[in-house]
Amino acid sequence: MSSNGKNTSPLGLRVAAIGGLLFLHLPLAFIFLYAFTTEEKSFAFPPPGLTTKWFGVAWSSRPDIWPPLYLSLQVAAIATILALIFGTLAAAALSRTKFFGRESISLLFVLPIALPGIITGIALRSAFDIMSIPFSVWTIILGHATFCIVVVYNNAVARFRRLSGNLVEASMDLGADGFQTFRHIILPQIGTALLAGGMLAFALSFDEVIVTTFTAGQQTTLPIWMLSELIRPRQRPVTNVVAVFVFLVTLLPILAAYYLTREGEHTGGSSK
Amino acid sequence: MTMAAAERPRGIGGAISDIFFARPQLLTLLLLMPPLLWIGVVYVGSLFALLLQSFYSLDDFSGLVVHQFTLATYQQLFEGSNVQIILRTVVMAALVTVVSAFIAFPIAYYAARYARGWMKALFYLAVMMPLWSSYLVKVYAWKLILAKEGVITWFANALHMGWLLDGVLGLPIVGGPSLSFSYVGTFLVFVYIWLPYMILPTQAALERVPANFIEASADLGADPGQTFRTVIFPLALPGIVAGSIFTFSLTLGDYIIPQIVGNSRLMIGQAVYTLQGTAGNIPLAAAFTVVPMVIMAFYLWMAKRMGAFDVL
């Protein structure tokens, strides 16, 4: 009887689960739909007509979109690199030995995402104030890297835990030094986890707005541009075109990260 | 073989590795130092700087910050409108957490217990994608769905349920001129945005419930309802608590969602934002941020006691 119950789910459960997933996905479809609407001044539904002209408008007659885009890409790239370095170091250190205070330190590393973003933002801002650091690209990067480190750390620490100690010992026994072991044994095994963590960090930074409003000063990243368009709309469909673009730019790294860590998930499942 | 390897000349790299091999703690320390300095000094340092500011006060006449230790700023937190802001935010965060737990559970349960193969991958992706995809784009999507001329109004009228929508909007406190200017709207968007954070840990906890526990429960005569209440739910609870850390904390500190979808009554995040920006009252803004920090510290302590960190 229990084996029967295992394969067929109760109808109510199925409806609730599928309904929940629809709730998660349908809203995004409207972003795409409204990028094609002919109605410029309101969010009238259904759209009175469909057009592709807004993509052209966003591309050629809205120069205010490009500088924020470049700034966002620059910030995301540098923050990701910093996060990869620091996040991996932290994961390597905390997964290899047990020592006094390890628990508290690992809690410390998740703090930047456990606390609301506004706290990170205003804390950094008041620190810049106190030390009279003027706002620049680097103040934005500093804020972004702080929570990107957490993302890389989380990805890397999970992989380090699965890393077999035997392989490392075997490598050492066969005469490899620590650096060779890292290069030939450890790196190939953690590589995909790092790449996945880096992609998620990039997506997170490219899209971040809460911390950025506090650390950017007068600079405008793409999310800040979008926020100002949301509060004071000019051409609503153009904002939709940019929204579609931002959505795709963050989606691709997420899918890639999933693809890269997928194998690990499967081995994790099969060992159960 | 080990002997032969040990006798081989190995250069500086080898010498350094020998030192690390002899003193593994040294390597750990070296690895840990840079990230620890970053998080420990830059991040925690900034948090302390913020904490420090909250013990200063704002001179009412000059509008300048008085750099002198005082508790007066904290006293202001307990004055009428500020208490209201705090209560409003905490109630919102609690409601969002409870409702997301209810919506998340069936999804997590189905994904953990019934989905297999490609279905499982689909469920995982279907939760991961909204979790990581652009926060602002998601909020924006709701702005146009909830607008007075938008999707929900159209569907309500098409289904001849316009009266229901008007009824909800006519309610005191939670209603408003349209969904995008009401608490109902703010609440919906919060639930939508943070829902994936609730699903994933709940699913992780459910996946760890051993199948033979459930069989044993059935063999011992429990009906499915009893099995759920006495076996599955208690074992899933740490996951739900872990998810609630995110939904609760993220709602406490958010100021974008209530600003874009909501009425003019402030939540903690908006209060902090306006106080530090236009009002220039950094001390009070800092004191306000201490509220979610204290609430979250307490919450995390409770969660740790319930074993929520093991599922993260």
DSSP of B65-122, one letter per residue? EE-S--SHHHHHHTSHHHHHHHHHHHHHHHHHHHHHHHHHHHHHHHHHHT--THHHHH
Q: Which helix (H) or strand (E) holds B58?
A: strand B57-58
Of the two residues B287 and A43, the one the predictor is more confident about is B287
A217 Rama sector, left if φ>0, alpha if ψ -120 to 50, beta otherwise:
left
- Residue reference for tokens 């690992």: A106
Cβ <8 Å between A118 and B114: no
Cβ <8 Å between A94 and B113: no
Label residue B10 by pLDDT band (50, 70, 90): low
| List of chain B residues whose C-beta atoms are within 8 Å of the C-beta of residue A174 | 1, 5
Is A31 in CB contact (< 8 Å) with chain B?
A: yes
The tokens for A123 are: 């804390």
| List of chain A residues whose C-beta atoms are within 8 Å of the C-beta of residue B139 | 230
Cα separation, B258 vs B254, whole angstroms = 8
Cβ <8 Å between A118 and B273: yes
Instruction: Examine the pLDDT at B16 and tell me if it is beyond 70.
Output: yes
Cα separation, A126 vs B50, whole angstroms = 6
Cα separation, A221 vs A244, whole angstroms = 16
Q: Which helix (H) or strand (E) holds B57?
A: strand B57-58
| pLDDT computed for residue A82 by the predictor | 95
| pLDDT computed for residue A267 by the predictor | 36
Disruptive mutation site among A11, A18, A32, A45 for chain B (greatest number of B CBs within 10 Å)? A45
Cα separation, B264 vs B181, whole angstroms = 8
- For A70-81, what is the mean pLDDT? 94
Closest-CA residue to B267 (of B89, B84, B87): B89
Number of inter-chain CB pairs under 8 A, A vs B: 288
Task: Report the gap between the CA of A60 and the closest CA in chain B (Å).
Answer: 22
Label residue A7 by pLDDT band (50, 70, 90): low
The tokens for A237 are: 């469909």
Long-range contacts of A64-69 (CB under 8 A, 24+ apart): A64/A225, A65/A222, A65/A225, A65/A238, A65/A242, A67/A220, A68/A220, A68/A221, A68/A222, A68/A224, A68/A225, A69/A222
Q: What would the pLDDT profile of A28-68 be if each residue is shown by its tens digit?
A: 888 888 888 877 777 777 877 778 788 887 787 788 888 99
CB A52 within 8 A of CB A268: no
Task: List the single residue in A with minimal CA-CA distance to B252.
Answer: A116
Task: List the single residue in B with minimal CA-CA distance to A109.
Answer: B39
Query: Cα–chain-centroid distance for residue B286?
Result: 20
CB B256 within 8 A of CB B272: no
Q: Which of residues 183-202 of A touch B (CB under 8 A)?
A: 200
Task: List the single residue in A with minimal CA-CA distance to B67.
Answer: A130
Instruction: Examine the pLDDT at A104 and tell me if it is beyond 60.
Output: yes
Q: Which helix (H) or strand (E) holds B20?
A: helix B11-22
Of the two residues A164 and B169, the one the predictor is more confident about is B169
CB A159 within 8 A of CB A246: no
| List of chain A residues whose C-beta atoms are within 8 Å of the C-beta of residue B296 | 114-116
Cα separation, B139 vs B130, whole angstroms = 12
Task: Report the gap between the CA of A58 and the closest CA in chain B (Å).
Answer: 17
Q: Which of residues 41-100 of A touch B (CB under 8 A)?
A: 42-46, 85-87, 89-90, 92-94, 96-97, 99
| pLDDT computed for residue A170 by the predictor | 83
| pLDDT computed for residue B5 by the predictor | 46
Looking at every residue in chain A, the average pLDDT score rounds to: 82
| pLDDT computed for residue B106 by the predictor | 93
* B267 burial type by CB count under 10 A (0-12 exposed, 13-18 middle, 19+ buried): buried
Of B39, B224, B260, the CB nearest to A149: B39
Cβ <8 Å between A115 and B145: no
CA angle B221, B223, B224 (to 5 degrees): 135
Cβ <8 Å between B128 and A254: yes
Give pTM, 2 decimals.
0.84
| List of chain A residues whose C-beta atoms are within 8 Å of the C-beta of residue B135 | 207-209, 223
| pLDDT computed for residue B187 by the predictor | 94
| List of chain A residues whose C-beta atoms are within 8 Å of the C-beta of residue B16 | 177-179
Q: What are phi and psi of B57, to 5 degrees?
A: -140, 170
Cβ <8 Å between A96 and B28: yes
Q: Can you state the angle between helices B282-305 and B80-113, rounded to 10 degrees?
A: 40
Cβ <8 Å between A21 and B145: no
Q: What are phi and psi of A50, to 5 degrees?
A: -120, 140
Q: Cα-atom radius of gyration of chain A, to the nearest Å?
A: 23
Of A223-227, B159-163, B199-203, least confident by mean pLDDT is: B159-163
Q: Which helix (H) or strand (E) holds B299?
A: helix B282-305
Of the two residues B24 and A82, the one the predictor is more confident about is A82
Instruction: Examine the pLDDT at B8 and tell me if it is beyond 90.
Output: no
Cα separation, B21 vs B51, whole angstroms = 42
Cβ <8 Å between A246 and B137: yes
Length of chain A: 272
| pLDDT computed for residue A2 by the predictor | 41
Q: Can you state the angle between helices A187-207 and A236-270, rounded to 10 degrees?
A: 160
Q: What would the pLDDT profile of A236-252 be if each residue is shown by its tens digit?
A: 888 888 888 888 888 88
Whether the upstream peptide bond of residue A46 has omega within 30° of 0, thus cis, is yes
Cβ <8 Å between B256 and A210: yes
Label residue A268 by pLDDT band (50, 70, 90): very low
Instruction: Give the contacts of B202 (CB within 8 A, at least 6 positions apart).
Output: B101, B104, B105, B108, B109, B236, B239, B240, B243
Cα separation, B307 vs B312, whole angstroms = 10
Written as one letter, the residue type at B125 is L
Q: What would the pLDDT profile of B117-157 be if each residue is shown by its tens digit?
A: 888 888 888 888 888 888 888 998 898 888 888 888 888 88
Cα separation, B139 vs B275, whole angstroms = 24
